[in-house]
Chains A and B, each alone.
Chain A
Amino acid sequence: MAVGAGILAGQAARRWLDVVEVRGRSMAPALLPGDRLLVECRTYARRQPRPGEVVLAADPRAADRELIKRVASVDEAAQTALLLGDAPAESTDSLVFGPVPLASIRWRAAFRYWPPERAGRL
């Protein structure tokens, strides 16, 4: 019963919490392929992304793909952000596709829960 309620709560929470898996190495060593993350979309409903935060954004070149990158800078006037991978040699990011609209950034990567030995806040 308690488990059932927990699962129902979990499903309700998924509207603003979700789990994602990382593909690719452009965020190495902070994030590695196969890392599983808890992401949430409440923060950016309240405020803008800040430099240093790891965010999800629609790929400007293919809207059905989601990228995970770090916010390098935010241009308040233009309402855009510069997104960069931590590993520049292996990253396709704002150096390639330019700044992205702040509106395209809704989810913030908050916590890694897998693998357990590297679990922790991001």
Chain B
Amino acid sequence: MLSLRSILRPTRHVHAHCDIPCGVYDPEQARIEAESCYRIIEKYHASDDEVFRQRCVAVKEARAEETKHHIDVLWHDYFKPEHLEKYPDLHDVCWKASKAASKVKQGTDLEAARDLLALIDQIDGMWKGTGGLEKTRLNGRPS
């Protein structure tokens, strides 16, 4: 029996994607942005210059948004169903990392930035474990 709900649930997906695709993915991109957030939050707490602190907040929010973007790109574009078989918690980790980036964007809690870095490192482990380093970078990571 068809319900209204099933009628309103699309089975057809239309793509508004950017996908040349270049095929280059690396969690390092997210990590660098997240490290920026971490350092900025440190500087924020160390300063008593109100103008500087406001700049810290503005820049940190932009960096956190970038972090989130890079996490999402890995999640949506790099990871494939076969990776999920190898890492059943893949969705959960990416989801938590994305949420952690939002939390860093919203606040100035150093602990939150540390959590974000740890989650990105988990994603990095899954990326390496699925051959990301060899498959997506031209010559591996620069040493």
Contact surface of A with B, Cβ cutoff 8 Å? 3, 7, 10-11, 18-28, 31, 33, 36-37, 56, 59, 65-69, 85, 89-92, 96, 113-114
Interface of B is mostly: loop
- On whether A67 and B12 interact (CB within 8 A), knowing A10-B7, A92-B20, the answer reads no
Q: Which residue of A lies closest to B3 (CB)?
A: A7
Does B51 sit within 8 A of A, measured CB to CB? no
Q: Which residues of B contact A65 (CB under 8 A)?
A: 15
B18 and A67 contacting across the interface, CB-CB below 8 Å:
no
B12 and A19 contacting across the interface, CB-CB below 8 Å:
yes
Partner of B16, one of A7, A11, A22: A22
A26 and B16 contacting across the interface, CB-CB below 8 Å:
yes
Does B14 sit within 8 A of A, measured CB to CB? yes
Q: 26 A-B contacts, Cβ less than 8 Å apart?
A: A19-B7, A19-B9, A19-B12, A20-B13, A21-B10, A23-B15, A24-B15, A24-B17, A24-B18, A24-B19, A25-B16, A25-B17, A25-B18, A26-B16, A27-B16, A33-B16, A36-B10, A56-B14, A65-B15, A66-B12, A66-B13, A66-B15, A68-B15, A69-B16, A90-B18, A92-B19
Tally of B interface residues using CB under 8 Å: 16
Residues 7-57 of B contacting A (Cβ, < 8 Å): 7-10, 12-20
Does B138 sit within 8 A of A, measured CB to CB? no
B16 and A24 contacting across the interface, CB-CB below 8 Å:
yes
Q: What are the 10 closest A-B residue pairs judged by CB atoms, nearest first? A: A24-B17, A68-B14, A24-B16, A21-B10, A26-B16, A27-B16, A90-B18, A19-B10, A20-B12, A20-B14
Q: How many A-B residue pairs have CB under 8 A?
A: 78
B14 and A92 contacting across the interface, CB-CB below 8 Å:
no
Q: Which residues of B contact A18 (CB under 8 A)?
A: 10, 12
CA distance A85 to B17 in the complex (A): 9
Q: How far is the CB of B98 from chain A (nearest CB, A)?
A: 13
B12 and A11 contacting across the interface, CB-CB below 8 Å:
no
Q: Which residues of B contact A19 (CB under 8 A)?
A: 7-10, 12
CA distance A68 to B14 in the complex (A): 6
B16 and A91 contacting across the interface, CB-CB below 8 Å:
yes
Q: Which residues of A contact B18 (CB under 8 A)?
A: 24-26, 85, 89-92
- On whether A11 and B8 interact (CB within 8 A), knowing A20-B14, A68-B16, A96-B20, the answer reads no
A36 and B13 contacting across the interface, CB-CB below 8 Å:
no
- On whether A7 and B10 interact (CB within 8 A), knowing A24-B15, A65-B15, the answer reads no
